[in-house]
Amino acid sequence: MQTTILDVSGKKAQPLAIDAAISFESFISYLKQRIGEEPTVKARLYKEALTAFEASDIGRRDIPLEETSQYSDLLEYVYACLSPAMSPEHQLAWGLSFPFLPTTFYGTDLIYQLLANNSPEYNYEVTRTPADYHRERLQLVYSLILQRLYNFQAPVKTEQHHAGVNTATGLLQYYAVAISTDFVEVTAKGELPDIDFVQLYTHFSEGGGVEILEEMMPLDLFRFRGFCVITVTDVTAEKAVENISGMRLSRTTLIDEKNYERVILSLKSLVRDTRIEFDLFPFLRVNDNPVYSFEKGGTGVLFAVWGESRLSPEEFSRNAKAFMSKPLFFFSGDIGKETRKEYAFLEYFREQGVKSLAIMPIFFMGEPVGAFAVHTWSDHSFDEKTLSLLEPAIGAIGQLLQIYIEEFNGEIEKVIKEKFTSIQPAVQWKFNEAAWYYLYRLKKNQPAVISNILFKEVYPLYGAIDIRNSTVERNKAIIADLDSHLSILANTLDVLRKYQQNDLLQEMIYHCQRWQQALLHQQLSPSDENALNRFLEEESVSYLQHIAAQYPNTRETINTCLESMAGNVNKDALEISMQLITQAANGYLESEKARLQESYPCYFEKFRTDGVEYDIYIGQSIAPDRPFNHFHLKNLRLWQLSSMVAITKLTHSLIAQMEKELFTTQLIFVHNHPIDISFRADERKFDVEGAYNIRYQMIKKRIDKVHIRNTEERLTQPDKIALIYSDRDDVDDYLPFIRYLQDTGVLHPELEELELEDLQGLSGLKALRLAVVVEEAK
């Protein structure tokens, strides 16, 4: 034990203006209480200590700090009564200090060694600034005042930390310094001020409160007598785990060199050995298949044995799947002595110079997220006891690997969004692969080009729900609105004759009448329509505003005219009716998307036109892991026909709600041969691939207004479904479905078989036309 007076702050602590002194009066009271309570042999120790204290004058007066060494025998009784009996003195960091001053006057050799900060083995720096340190001391003082005099427990920590690097080993070490004030008596020198404890608790919880207390109750109002008991505890293990967890909280990637070095140093500090090495190997997956990590995690031993330098992507994926499906723990103190056949894989580790090796699977939420290797080189080894020291950190390592996996997945998604678009689940796996190879080449400083997204031999299904004569109806609505605006303008100009008769008015009337005649004969070209809009929206408005300013009596008439000309009643009514149809059709198809995937994954894409068009692609290349056969295609074709019937009924039922009565036509293009499709990055959509397949795309774009051969009749008609095909065999799958829907009363029994007119570059197209049974709108 030592009786040296030591300023543990290194003379950096700010002074506290308090009336304080060392006293053992409270300790003597403690001994008397313990003697009365203790039924065991410990009571003898307490009695002996009490006798020694009462025989001296130490209990009746304040003890100057410089005189404490004179009472070493009595201080040893304090140590014997207050220290843990099971801890040997050389292992215990325990001491006594002046009340609320960073000055130790008695303690074990170890506490002096630690707090003196000058041992050849320990070199620590207090992690707090002097200002923080001063605040913590004030909080400790005021928390004691509030507890003893107000019976209020302040939410402040009484524990401090010393942290630093062991100069002998280079490892981190952390010590918690607990300060007990049980033997400090505090008394008030005058009347205590009133305190709002609710407000004070809030300030303390937010890290404040001390400033308020310093104003309300200065420390010179109080008297402190006694001593503090200091206990220093090694908390390196807890802090090392916190360091690793802190990496998780900051969401910093594992490959950040400085942060990874912190993880490794924390692990080495945990096992207290700088010669033990660590490797982290996250299990990254693309489409649920394991892929290489981008970077080696640590010394690179696992990366060298399991990485791309030794294993092909297929071999790695196969081995990693086997490990993840049956994750096993391996340990050998010396892999050079392992000769069992199942340990043949150790040869690759021996080639790297490894001696001791442990490989353990790491889990997060019950799922394997990676492997953790602990190893030494040929001149050092470790045993199972070392591995047990790592146990507290395993959970934090699992969290760290999970974050790395999440960030990897985030990178994949980012590439997909930047290079592609929002991708449907059925084909997401293909884009995942492309994104992975792009990132892989990017990380390896290789030319990073997005590979072509290609699906070979898929069956296409095309459908279109169109609003009948939408262009004609839109032109009619525009002309009707323009004619209405001209009539309103003409009537207003006629009224203005009462106020003004000049050539400018006559010219406006002339132009108005000329435009009315042009509309009557429907002689408007696109340029004429633009000119008419300029006349109505600019010239007429400017003229009318001029007249209103000149003749205030005309203002009401002109304002009414301008308000009436601002709207497009017919066009708005048409747009509302068209929107009603497209929303209904689009909503139906959207609701069916999930059901389409139940039988077999397929790609489904909608396009908004005046109605709705869609492309569906299905085939083995869409889902390589699931066998595809013709029944999957037939099931999709039945859905296509049934959905067209449902949409026809749905849109027809909306007629009663429409401001402008509109009808829909339904078209299916049947192509019975597989095609290749690829993703066009510039257009962010799939398109056909190859010269032969382009014919399919060309037919799609030209059949919407096709006529029946030798007639002026359009193939598509309201409340009917048209199926266009090239060869009779193409519709073999549809014929049983048509008969089924006819027999169930969904379709009319008539089936029209039609030949279609030749189109540019296309001939020989045929069609089936079916009438849907609809209820007449009431």
Task: Give tens-digit pLDDT for 474-497.
Answer: 888 888 888 888 898 889 888 888
Residue 438: inside a domain: no
pLDDT tens for 101-155 read 888 999 998 888 887 765 655 555 545 567 777 777 888 888 888 889 988 887 6
Location of structure tokens 């004058």: 57
Residue 686 located in a structural domain = yes
- pLDDT of 90: 82
Return the axis-axis angle of helices 734-743 and 630-653, rounded to nearest 10°.
Answer: 40
How many domains does one find in the chain?
4
The answer to whether position 21 is within a domain reads yes
| pLDDT at residue 443 is higher than 80 | no
Helix, strand, or coil (residue 355): strand
Look up residue 708 and give its DSSP letter.
B
- Mark whether 114 and 263 lie in a shared domain: no
Give the pLDDT band of residue 749 (cuts 50, 70, 90). Answer: very high
Residue 739 maps to a domain: yes
Q: CATH number of the domain that 344 lies in?
A: 3.30.450.40
pLDDT at res. 249: 46
Residue predicted with more confidence, 349 or 435: 349
Residues 150 and 276 in one domain: no
Q: Which residue has the higher pLDDT, 209 or 39?
A: 39
Instruction: Give the end of a domain, one of 539, 567, 595.
Output: 567
Q: Does residue 753 register a pLDDT over 90?
A: yes
Q: What is the pLDDT of residue 74?
A: 93
Report pLDDT for 120. 54
Residues 121 and 207 in one domain: yes
- Both 413 and 554 in one domain: the answer is no
Q: Give pLDDT tens digits for 514-546.
A: 888 888 776 677 787 888 888 888 888 888 888
Q: Is residue 458 part of a domain?
A: no
One domain for residues 145 and 261: no
Residue 457 lies in a domain: no
Q: Which residue matches tokens 């749905």?
A: 650
**Residue 256: its pLDDT value, please?**
61
65 and 213 both lie in a single domain: yes
Does one domain contain both 524 and 539? yes
Closest CA to 189 of 216, 215, 223: 223
Helix (H) or strand (E) holding 113: helix 109-116
Final residue before a domain boundary, out of 551, 567, 583: 567
Give the pLDDT score at 118: 59
Same domain for 23 and 57, yes or no, is: yes
The partner residues of 721 in beta bridges, in order of sequence, read 666, 770
8 Å CB contact between 121 and 257: no
Range in 391-395, 418-422, 516-520, 573-577 with the lowest mean pLDDT: 418-422
Residue whose entry in the numeric block shows the structure tokens 């999709």: 636
251 band by pLDDT with thresholds 50, 70 and 90: very low
**In the predicted model, what is the mean pLDDT of the chain?**
85
Q: Is the pTM here over 0.75, yes or no? A: no
The last residue of a domain, from among 567, 595, 618: 567
How many Å apart are CA 339 and CA 33, to the nearest integer?
68
654 alpha carbon, distance to own chain's centre: 42
Residues 512 and 622 in one domain: no
Same-domain pairing of 561 and 578: no
459 in a structural domain: no
pLDDT-based confidence at 354, cuts 50/70/90? very high
Q: What is the mean pLDDT of residues 710-734?
A: 93
User: What are 650-708's pLDDT values in tens digits?
Assistant: 999 999 898 889 999 999 999 988 988 887 766 666 777 765 677 788 888 888 889 99
Neighbour count for residue 201 (Cβ, 10 Å):
15
The CATH number assigned to the domain holding 684 equals 3.30.70
At 276 the pLDDT is 92
Q: What is the DSSP letter of 662?
A: -
Report pLDDT for 763: 87
Residue type, 178: A
The pLDDT value recorded for residue 375 is 93
* 578 and 718 housed in the same domain: yes
> Which pLDDT score, from 0 to 100, does residue 588 have?
93
Provide the pLDDT for residue 223: 93
* pLDDT tops 70 at residue 360: yes
pLDDT in tens, 275-287: 999 988 888 998 8
Write out pLDDT tens, residues 46-102. Answer: 999 999 998 887 877 899 999 999 999 999 999 999 988 777 888 888 999 999 888
* Residue 453 belongs to a domain: no
Residue 732's domain spans which residues?
573-772
Q: Are 366 and 475 members of one domain?
A: no
pLDDT at 49: 93
Per-residue confidence (pLDDT) for residue 57, from 0 to 100? 78
